[in-house]
Amino acid sequence: MRPLIALHDRIFGTLEATAPWLIPTLARIVFAGTLLVYYWNSGLTKWGSGPFSPDLGAYIQILPRAFEAVGFNPSALGPLATPIVILGTWTEFILPALIVLGLFTRLAAIGMIGFVAVQTWVDIVGHGVSGDVLGAWFDNSAGSDIADQRAFWIFLLVVLVLRGAGPLSLDALLSRQRSADLTPASQPR
């Protein structure tokens, strides 16, 4: 029995040693494979004639109740509506790109957590999502778009907040560069 325990300890000890670089690297790969294109496509649906001219659909997606209340006239929304819609649209491009590149990863992941929270609030309050789409935890169904899927998204992002981007990232490259810059140069004797 001891040889089996020793084998177990060696195998899982080796795996544990890889965790500091493997976990955040895999988290970024999973993010890229599952959420990058989702958010970029969502951002593209809001893109109007230019980067600072959102499509009418952007107002419907981001400010649904307010937009309906003013008869779907964006100029009647007030001065903050267009900047909010533009910022929301750009966020769907910038934060996912930063995560995948591993640049300012912790801040980008915190921003994405906030974005998912706002997205969820807009879906529930603004668009009236309920029932099976909303779902609930511990309901014997793992397929709801809100309670189940977004819990996994948030968990993935929390991993990046806690662990950073890992060694295969621009954050790591910049960190190595900063360390090299702070190391005193060797003085010839």
Give the tens place of pLDDT for each residue, 32-60: 999 999 999 999 999 988 888 999 999 99
DSSP characters over 129-169: --HHHH--TTSS----TTTTHHHHHHHHHHHHHHH-S-SSS
Query: What per-residue confidence (pLDDT) applies to 186?
Result: 53
Query: What per-residue confidence (pLDDT) applies to 144?
Result: 84
pLDDT band for 131, please (50, 70, 90 cuts): confident
Query: What per-residue confidence (pLDDT) applies to 120?
Result: 95
- Is the pTM here over 0.85, yes or no? yes
| Assigned token pair, 69 | 């209340």
Which tens digit of pLDDT belongs to each residue from 11-21? Answer: 999 989 988 88
143 has pLDDT over 90? no
pLDDT band for 185, please (50, 70, 90 cuts): low
Helix (H, G, I), strand (E, B) or coil at 185: coil
Query: What per-residue confidence (pLDDT) applies to 22?
Result: 93
112 and 120 Cβ atoms separated by less than 8 Å = no
54: left (phi over 0), alpha (psi -120 to 50) or beta: beta
Query: What per-residue confidence (pLDDT) applies to 73?
Result: 94
pLDDT, average across residues 104-128: 96
Residue 69: CB atoms within 10 A of its CB come to 11
Query: What per-residue confidence (pLDDT) applies to 50?
Result: 83
| Assigned token pair, 92 | 């769907």
187 has pLDDT over 70? no
Q: Which is higher by pLDDT, 139 or 125? A: 125
Number of H helices, E strands in the chain: 9, 0
